[in-house]
Amino acid sequence: MALSIVLVMQLAVPMAHAQQPGAVELSGQVKVARTVEENGVQRTVLEDPRQVIPGDRVVFTTNYRNTSAELVEDFVVTNPVPGAVALSEDGDFDVSIDGAKTFGRLASLSVTLEDGASRPAELADVTHVRWTLARLEPGASGAVTYTATVR
């Protein structure tokens, strides 16, 4: 039980960063994806992360809403990936493997090894995810998500 409490604390909603504070309101949530069976049919449900164990899939969501009266263009949302999890799938977002210094598509990034050689970046190397929202009309809202696996 102690392990699960520590993991839940580490999975707390990471603070999303935006380049125009005040123009767009951000809020986040974390859910655990569980497979349940009802009447012989399996389906995935999202639950609060009361207890998580290594291997559980966790869905991180950042909700956004343009609270200004102005159009917001090229709005960037950056989320850290908590150390207790590893990104579990590539998505429609850019990633960083160096602590948010540089971003790109996972397939275009590489990790430099101690001996100077390099290897392609992997999901487990990702430290941050980033979305660029082209246009947010006044009052527009939506959400961005990424899925990770508890280490």
Asked if residue 28 lies in contact with residue 84, where contact means CB atoms within 8 angstroms, the answer is no
d(CA 17, CA 77): 6
Residue range(s) defining the domain that contains residue 49? 2-150
12 band by pLDDT with thresholds 50, 70 and 90: low
pLDDT at 144 over 90: yes
Q: Residue 77: is it exposed, middle or buried by C-beta count within 10 angstroms (0-12/13-18/19+)?
A: buried
The pLDDT > 70 percentage for the chain reads 86
119-132 pLDDT tens trace: 999 999 999 999 99
Question: What is the count of structural domains for the chain?
Answer: 1
Residues 101-127, mean pLDDT to the nearest whole number: 97
The residue ranking higher by pLDDT, 30 or 16, is 30
C-alpha angle 60-94-113 in degrees, rounded to nearest 5:
105
Region 145-149 average pLDDT: 97
DSSP states along 59-116: EEEEEEEE-SSS-EEEEEEEEE--TTEEE-S--SSEEESSSSS--B-GGG-EEE-TTS
Tokens encoding 105:
């598509």
Note the pLDDT of residue 78: 96
- Backbone φ/ψ region at 100: left (φ over 0), alpha (ψ -120 to 50), beta: left
Q: What is the mean pLDDT of residues 39-50?
A: 95
Q: What pLDDT, on the 0 to 100 scale, is given for residue 132? A: 96
For residue 8, the model assigns a pLDDT of 46
9 φ, ψ (degrees, to nearest 5): -60, -40
